[in-house]
Structures are given as structure tokens and as C-alpha cells.
Structure 1
Amino acid sequence: MTPAIRFLKHIGAEFKVHTYECNVSDDFGKHCAHQLGMEEAKVFKTLLLQHEKQTITAIIPVSMRLNLKASAKAVHLKQVTMMLPADAERLTGYKVGGISPFAQKKASKTLLDESALTQTSILVSGGKRGVSVEISPQDILTLLDASVANISE
């Protein structure tokens, strides 16, 4: 059981675990959608951004690209950059392709793309490649004290 799933169980969140065979080395989110037969608009990826020593977690649909300028604006910064994969793994405690927004080693400001609000539930990584959790966007906002912003393109 991953730290993300332990966290969700511990707080009594409503969620469903989905597992699938993960045999790719990139584009993990699209692979997840294909393996589970889900629309890409319902499957979200977790990306880590940084500005100096500040870390931001961005959650966007796997079919979209992150808009760095919009992300920076949403957290009241002039600019942000993508975090290097090794740094993201060190800060979250998860491997790339399995980085969950839940139960990261170091908490960070979280942005959820506004498109999530058009779905009753979305899939995010469960903390391991091949494991996703289905949860309502409203629960993500509440559990992570996240903000909603238009951060994808």
C-alpha cells in the first residue's frame, strides 16, 4: 500500500483504486487512460514546479500541456520552471510516473486545473506506476487545500 492510499484510507476519503500493467517509460498518464479504457480528460497527471525554494504541485489532464505562465500567475509568482525528475522524486518520495498529489514527503501549494471540475471524479496517481486513485475533484481541493486555475493548454 502506498503512502497516498494509506493517507486517503486514514482520513476516510471516498476513492477507488485502479491498477493496470505499466510497461512504458514515458507518457505514463496516457498509458494509464488507454490501459483502463478511460477518456484522457478524466485522467490527470501530477507535475512538480519550482520557483527558487518554493515547490508547487500542478494537476492537469494527461491530454494537455502545462502552461507555466498561467501556473506562475495562479500562485502569484513571476515565473516557475518544471522541476527536474530526480528532484521531484526526492521531494515527494515517489518515482516519476507514480507521483501522487497525496502524502508527498514535503507538502507544497497545489493547483488543480479547472477542467477537473467538469468531471464527477478524476484519476490521479496512487503513488506507484500502475496504480491510480479515482476521487472527486472537490475532495482533492479539500484534502490538499488546493486552488483551481486554468493552467493547461
Structure 2
Amino acid sequence: MSKTTRATLVLQQAGVAFTVHSYDYDPNAERIGLQAAEALGADPNSVLKTLMVLVDAKPACAIVPSDREVNLKKLAASLGGKSAQMMKPADAERLTGYHVGGISPFGQKKRVPTIIEESAFAHESVFINGGQRGLQVQLKPADAAKVLDAKKAGVV
């Protein structure tokens, strides 16, 4: 597995401190984020999942703890929209250039509005997908928000 992806290149170019962690990805896991947390020996609340959504039919990205579910009403409101829905996996792959299970918010083909769940900022560092199945980057949540130009909001 390559530890250099579009996501890690974006982080390097931004001058952000991060570490790369690989683990055995289980494509049959019921909840991929929780499987990643367990494999990494990390608090599931600090392992964030990247969700591609549509807010008023426009693409957006939500980054939330792997042990929580996004509240679509709160997410839509946080982006000034009326409604939100999950993006179809094939559409998410086409938009981001990544495969489901390996979608990173960093280095996506098209930049979209991004929200990071506010509870993530309680952690000194968080894990976010590094652009491949079985690859996570660990960094400060504030650094992730800065690179992504993301808003902080309560969306779970």
C-alpha cells in the first residue's frame, strides 16, 4: 500500500504536521469507521468518517466521529440549506476521485463546502481517511479545518 496519496500530498503542501497509519481494511465491516478505530486501537470518537452529501442538491462534505450518525437537518442548516441527503456511492466516487471506504476530504477532485463536527475539536488529534482504504492520517482538528477551509458545527 502506498502511503503517498493525493490527500497526503495536499497536507504536505499545506505544511501541516500529520502521521500516516495503515491498518487491515475489512470491506465486510458493518461500520467501516468503527472497524478502523478498532484496528488502530483509537477512541472511535477521534476517528472521523468522511461523508459525501447533497445539501439542497449541491455536493458537500461532512466529517463526523465514526461512532456517531450525522443529523441531516442540522447539516443542511449549518450550510444554509433546507434539506440534506447522503450522496449515492457512485456519485461520491466520481466527485472525489476516491473509492468508498477510502474517501478523504483532502485532495478531492472538486472542492466542496465542508463541515467538521464540533466535538472533534475536543481531541488533541483526530484520524481522517488518507485517501485509500486502510489508510488514516492523524492530525490536529484545527489543522484539518484550516486545510479544508471547513466550518465547525454541531451536526450529530
Per the normalisation by structure 1, the TM-score is: 0.96
Q: CA deviation at 1:51?
A: 3.2
* 2:93 equivalent among 89, 94, 104: 89
Structure-2 separation of matches of 1:61 and 1:30: 9
CA RMSD for the aligned pairs? Answer: 1.0
Per the normalisation by structure 2, the TM-score is: 0.94
Is residue 58 of structure 2 the alignment partner of residue 57 of structure 1? no
Identify the residue that residue 77 of structure 2 maps to in structure 1. Answer: 73
Structure-2 separation of matches of 1:38 and 1:6: 24
Q: CA deviation at 1:140?
A: 1.2
Residue segments in structure 1 that go unaligned for 5+ positions in a row: none
Residue correspondence of structure 1 range 32-47 to structure 2 within 5 A = 32-47=36-51
Residue segments in structure 2 that go unaligned for 5+ positions in a row: none
Q: CA deviation at 1:91?
A: 0.2
Matched residue type, 1:68: L
Contact persistence 2:8–2:130 (CA under 8 A): yes
Contact persistence 1:18–1:132 (CA under 8 A): yes
**Between Structure 1 and Structure 2, how many residues are aligned?**
152
Is residue 142 of structure 2 the alignment partner of residue 135 of structure 1? no
Structure-1 separation of matches of 2:12 and 2:142: 17
Contact persistence 1:24–1:31 (CA under 8 A): no
Structure-2 separation of matches of 1:64 and 1:52: 23
Q: CA offsets per residue over residues 34-82 of structure 1, 9 Å max, x none?
A: 1011110110000011135521100000000010000000001010111
Percent of paired sites with the same residue = 41
Matched residue type, 2:126: I
